[in-house]
């Protein structure tokens, strides 16, 4: 990857579960790979400054990662503009970001665009196993996500 650090941003609705989980997994993946990557997350409808959902924190603790320091933030023009790649959890969220930030639409893809596995379901209000399934789905997609980030950073 080039000298400037690429930035990877994950976006869901409230930045309390899915995108927060993806951010922590990606930061861990980058560290394990020895990559200098800036990783962030945001929400299309997020209020700033809130911690991750308790169920998300508990689920991440199970695999030795922490959401303790996570604070929600809304997706905004500066964040999207700085990003090398923005991965939205759903096609609808991708479309919202395309409408809100048309000059950066080429940076924004959905999880489904990248993996062909459909939207990442929102597990808030569900059972712990639903959050684990989302965590595992995001974790298994990281090689594809990092491949796409590398391609765009080299581009």
pLDDT for res 1: 40
pLDDT at 2: 43
pLDDT value at position 37? 97
Q: Closest Cα partner for 44 from 71, 12, 6? A: 12
Q: In the annotation, is 94 catalytic?
A: no
- Over residues 70-111, the pLDDT tens digits come to 999 999 999 999 999 999 999 999 999 999 999 999 999 999
In this predicted model, what pLDDT tens digit does every residue of 31-76 receive, in sequence order? 999 999 999 999 999 999 999 999 999 999 999 999 999 999 999 9
| Catalytic residue (choose from 12, 17, 28, 135) | 12
95 given a catalytic annotation = no
What 3-state DSSP class applies to 60?
helix
Torsion of CA 25, 27, 28, 34, to 10 degrees: 140
> Does pLDDT of 116 surpass 90?
yes
Q: Quote the pTM value.
A: 0.96
User: What is the pLDDT at residue 62?
Assistant: 97
Average pLDDT, the chain: 96
Catalytic residue among 18, 28, 94, 135: 18
What is the residue extent of each domain of the chain?
7-154
Domain 7-154, what fold?
Answer: Rossmann fold (3.40.50)
For this structure, is 17 an active site residue? Answer: no
Which residues does 61 contact at the CB level (< 8 Å), separation at least 6?
A: none
Q: Which of 105, 119, 122, 152 is catalytic?
A: 122
């Amino acid at each position: 990857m080039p000298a400037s650090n690429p930035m990877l941003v994950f976006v869901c609705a409230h930045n309390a579960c899915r995108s927060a989980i993806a951010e922590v997994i990606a930061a861990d993946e980058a560290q394990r790979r020895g990559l200098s990557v800036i990783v962030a997350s945001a929400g299309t409808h997020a209020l700033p400054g809130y911690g991750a959902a308790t169920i998300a924190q508990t689920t991440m603790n199970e695999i030795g990662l922490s959401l303790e320091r996570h604070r929600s933030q809304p997706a905004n023009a500066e964040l999207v503009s700085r990003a090398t790649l923005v991965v939205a959890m759903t096609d609808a969220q991708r479309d919202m970001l395309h409408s809100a930030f048309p000059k950066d639409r080429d940076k924004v893809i959905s999880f489904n665009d990248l993996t062909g596995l459909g939207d990442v379901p929102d597990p808030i209000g569900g059972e712990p196993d639903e959050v684990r399934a989302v965590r595992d789905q995001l974790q298994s997609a990281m090689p594809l996500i990092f491949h796409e980030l590398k391609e765009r950073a080299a581009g």
